[in-house]
Structure 1
Amino acid sequence: MTAVKLREWREDDAPAVFRAFQAPDLRRQAPWPVVTLKDAMGWIASWQGAGHAFAVTSDDQVVGNVAVARIDDHDNGWVSYWVVPEARGRGIAAAATDLLARWAFEERGLYRLELGHRTNNPASCRVATKAGFRPEGIERGKLCYDGVRYDVERHARLAGD
């Protein structure tokens, strides 16, 4: 497995964010189309006050993102992650998600972290389970892309897991 580190996003990471969101399967990971460097800088800036997002690095190169957002009054948070296509299959996403969870529990004081993935995305399921997130059930027809409904499997990890 490749060693990974998490660090705060920086404005000069915009080219890496721009390149990442050119991958067809990552385009939906941004709340708006990232078609310029300015859009990428906006994506980085959008995390201010919206949660905690970290650049995932391997060999000092940005290869992904992990984040915890939607933190509520019950110390629960929603986890998301992505890794650029060329860095997949090396355990980076699972290692980064595990690091994020440890940070969220130890530094942020959260108790429960949740995430979800489409049931037709077994790679994301493997990331979740390798990072210690247990499956909790299926949310039927939760997502809709291009007029097609998708079921989502929800996973969670507790501070004591």
Structure 2
Amino acid sequence: MSTPSHLLRPVRPDDGPAVLAAFASSPDMARQGDVTSLPQAQEMIAWLDAPSRRGVAIVAGEPRGMDRGEPAGTVRAGSATVGGELVDDELVDDELIGLIGVSIEEPHRSGWFFYWQHAGSRGRGLTSRAAATVANRALRPVADGGWGLERLELGHRVNNPASGAVARAAGFVQEGIERQKFLLDGERHDVLIYGRLRSDPVPATSELPWSR
């Protein structure tokens, strides 16, 4: 069996079951939103499908050649290899395993950045690579194929170091702390605030390829 390829693509309406599965994969996903049913998962996808937002899916699948009995490493017509991974028009099993989201404030050319991943796919560095890839594109000028933003922001609880590691891998710089911002399970939690500017250095984190 071949090693799955991990690619990025826009979130689609048919990602609802995968979004629901991700939220059911770990209790900590409840902090990302209230998604306990398929209609709620579809509502989240619809919320992302707005001019002021971007939803980018981290997907896992096998190159289509694997479905046709071709040996591993086969590159078919219409395919390309980017960063050592196959970029193809089609994958066998194009399943969402995580998400990078950006909520855009167009007047300020800034965006609030967030991310999550199915618990079963964590620990591989995929969220860090995906976050770096999306942030890099978001901060590039439109003339260079980017989204034209000039600043990105994100926040995470101080007791969630894994999220901070993703932020730093994506080039974000810690800028401050919002004391006791969140009330969770009866306790108040401080939140660390990060920002990344277009003028900040591009991180060395390797990018994930985009599905065409």
TM beyond 0.5: yes
Q: Structure 1 residues 3 and 127 mapped into 2: Cα distance closer, same or farther (>3 Å)?
A: farther
User: For residues 4 and 119 of structure 1, what CA distance do their matches in structure 2 show?
Assistant: 29
Please point out which of 2, 25, 35 is paired with 2:28.
Answer: 25
2:107 aligned partner, one-letter code: D
User: For residues 28 and 55 of structure 1, what CA distance do their matches in structure 2 show?
Assistant: 19
Following superposition, the deviation at residue 37 of structure 1 comes to: 1.5
Following superposition, the deviation at residue 130 of structure 1 comes to: 0.9
User: For residues 72 and 141 of structure 1, what CA distance do their matches in structure 2 show?
Assistant: 29
Q: Does structure 2 retain, via aligned residues, the 8 Å contact 1:54–1:66? A: yes
Pair member with larger Rg: 2
Q: Deviations over 1:56-83 (max 9, x none)?
A: 1133431101011042422111100001
SS in 1 for 2:105: coil
Following superposition, the deviation at residue 102 of structure 1 comes to: 1.5
User: For residues 5 and 183 of structure 2, what CA distance do their matches in structure 1 show?
Assistant: 35
Is 1:154–2:188 an aligned residue pair?
A: no
Q: Which runs of 5+ in 2 are unaligned?
A: 62-93, 141-145, 201-212
Q: Considering Cα pairs closer than 8 Å and 6+ residues apart, tell me whether 1 or 2 has the greater RCO.
A: 2
What's the TM-score, normalizing by structure 2? Answer: 0.70
Equivalent runs, 1:114-133 vs 2, <5 Å: 114-133=153-172
Equivalent runs, 1:1-161 vs 2, <5 Å: 4-22=6-24, 23-30=26-33, 33-49=34-50, 50-59=52-61, 60-106=94-140, 107-161=146-200
Q: Does structure 2 retain, via aligned residues, the 8 Å contact 1:8–1:55? A: yes
Q: Does structure 2 retain, via aligned residues, the 8 Å contact 1:52–1:69? A: yes
Q: Does structure 2 retain, via aligned residues, the 8 Å contact 1:117–1:152? A: yes
Q: Does structure 2 retain, via aligned residues, the 8 Å contact 1:115–1:155? A: yes
User: For residues 6 and 136 of structure 2, what CA distance do their matches in structure 1 show?
Assistant: 14
User: For residues 132 and 43 of structure 1, what CA distance do their matches in structure 2 show?
Assistant: 27
SS in 2 for 1:136: strand
User: For residues 131 and 21 of structure 1, what CA distance do their matches in structure 2 show?
Assistant: 23
% identity of equivalent residues: 43
